[in-house]
């Protein structure tokens, strides 16, 4: 798509502003409370009713780990930063969880292609510095043979969250297994879908996918990744809409899905000014998720970034919400294992997932 192998060439710095309200960490507010001039969405809805029936079985903590491979590696971390390899590029970014000392010497940290500078807050704006040579906004990446574009954004992110790999592989396995046993296609709903990696992986595995994100820019990136992956003919609906509004309408339309992926931000704004606040809106979203599941669903996966809570909180929410449905709720953290001799595990996010069996 680009004449330059690493996308459109940019000299010096890149700081392309994103209109996203969903980059799971990027657009989360420092103050988690809703600004006073914005109405809280939960004030509009009736109180939640706790489902009856036995609670699902539980497994916790279940730590899902990403090990280094040819496509991605956490080379080292420490002193508030992490050194990563994304395909052909070595990248340094801020990482507040890395409170320990670095394992590798300075020469390894200095031998990099891109460094994120500026604001070190999760949602802070900043710039990319290219020590070796000017790079483009995008560069080629792969995940388990699926091609897509890495992307330098002004919120430190690079268009992919590699810690999600265990969820992607688990989902693909469920889709492939179910598809071999039944005639109708597996249907996947991906809310807060970002750049579409999960949607593309699901489609490649044989699912019909509905991908929802509130950002037109993110939808554009996802479509670009679909083209790069050579999956243009796969059945994916790309929808730019507020996730809560969309799933409310899906309940009314009696639409049903076998797998639902939820990757909400802590705080955000929809395309029409809708306000999302995780602690007040997530319970209602999970309740609506249950209502859009097929009679024999496969899984619901919930991931939470940069919130002041433990995985026990979202574990209890998911387990309560799926009372009477059987299955099992597995919860814990997503971690990435370092490639170096220290081999420390860097925690990136919390998760809880309900699986039918």
pLDDT along the chain (357 residues), means of 10: 41 33 36 46 72 93 96 97 97 94 97 85 71 95 97 91 97 98 96 97 98 95 98 98 95 98 88 84 96 98 84 94 96 96 94 95
Pick from 93, 237, 201, 67: nearest CA to 152: 93
Q: Where in the chain is the domain with CATH 3.40.50.150?
A: 41-65+159-355
Q: Where in the chain is the domain with CATH 2.60.40.1180?
A: 69-151
Determine the pLDDT at residue 307: 67
Cβ 226 vs Cβ 232: under 8 Å: yes
DSSP state at residue 254? T
Determine the pLDDT at residue 45: 72
Cα–Cα separations (whole angstroms), residue 37 to 22, 269, 273, 335: 21, 13, 12, 37
H or E, element range at 213:
strand 208-213
Determine the pLDDT at residue 18: 31
Topology at the third CATH level for domain 69-151: Immunoglobulin-like (2.60.40)
Provide the residue count of the chain: 357
Determine the pLDDT at residue 106: 97
H or E, element range at 330:
strand 328-337
Cα 173 from Cα 56, distance rounded (Å): 21
276-299 as b/e, with b when 16 or more CB fall inside 10 Å? Answer: bbbebbbbbbbbbbbebbeeebbb
Determine the pLDDT at residue 43: 56
Tokens encoding 357: 């069996």
Pick the CATH number of 41-65+159-355 from 3.30.465.10, 3.30.450.20, 3.40.50.150, 1.10.760.10: 3.40.50.150
Tokens encoding 263: 């990757």
């Amino acid at each position: 798509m680009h004449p330059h192998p690493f996308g459109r060439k940019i000299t010096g710095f890149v700081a392309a502003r994103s209109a996203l309200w969903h980059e799971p960490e990027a657009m989360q507010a420092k103050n988690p409370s809703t600004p006073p001039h914005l109405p809280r969405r939960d004030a509009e809805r009736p109180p939640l009713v706790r489902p009856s029936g036995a609670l699902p079985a539980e497994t916790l903590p279940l730590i899902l780990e990403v090990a280094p491979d040819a496509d991605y590696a956490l080379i080292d971390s420490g002193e508030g930063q992490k050194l990563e390899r994304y395909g052909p590029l070595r990248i340094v970014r801020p990482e507040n969880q890395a409170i320990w000392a670095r394992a590798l010497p300075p020469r390894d940290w200095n031998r990099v292609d891109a460094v994120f500078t500026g604001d070190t807050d999760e949602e802070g704006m900043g710039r990319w510095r290219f020590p070796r040579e000017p790079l483009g906004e995008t560069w080629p990446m792969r995940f388990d043979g699926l091609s897509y574009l890495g992307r330098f954004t002004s919120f430190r992110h690079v268009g992919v969250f590699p810690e999600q790999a265990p969820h992607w592989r688990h989902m693909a396995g469920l889709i492939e297994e179910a598809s071999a046993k039944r005639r109708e296609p597996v249907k996947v709903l991906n809310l807060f879908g970002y750049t579409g990696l999960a949607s593309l992986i699901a489609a490649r595995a044989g699912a019909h996918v509905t991908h929802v994100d509130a950002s037109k820019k993110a939808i554009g990136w996802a479509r670009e990744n679909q083209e790069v992956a050579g999956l243009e003919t796969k059945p994916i609906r790309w929808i730019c809409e507020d996730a809560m509004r969309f799933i409310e309408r899906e309940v009314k339309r009696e639409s049903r899905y076998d797998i639902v992926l939820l990757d909400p931000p802590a705080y955000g704004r929809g395309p029409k000014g809708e306000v999302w606040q995780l602690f007040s809106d997530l319970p209602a979203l999970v309740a609506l998720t249950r209502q859009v599941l097929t009679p024999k669903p496969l899984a619901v996966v919930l991931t939470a970034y940069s919130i002041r809570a433990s995985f026990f909180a979202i574990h209890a929410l998911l387990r309560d919400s799926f009372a009477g449905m059987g299955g099992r709720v597995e919860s814990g953290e997503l971690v990435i294992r370092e490639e170096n001799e220290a081999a420390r595990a860097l925690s990136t996010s919390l998760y809880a997932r309900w699986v039918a069996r």
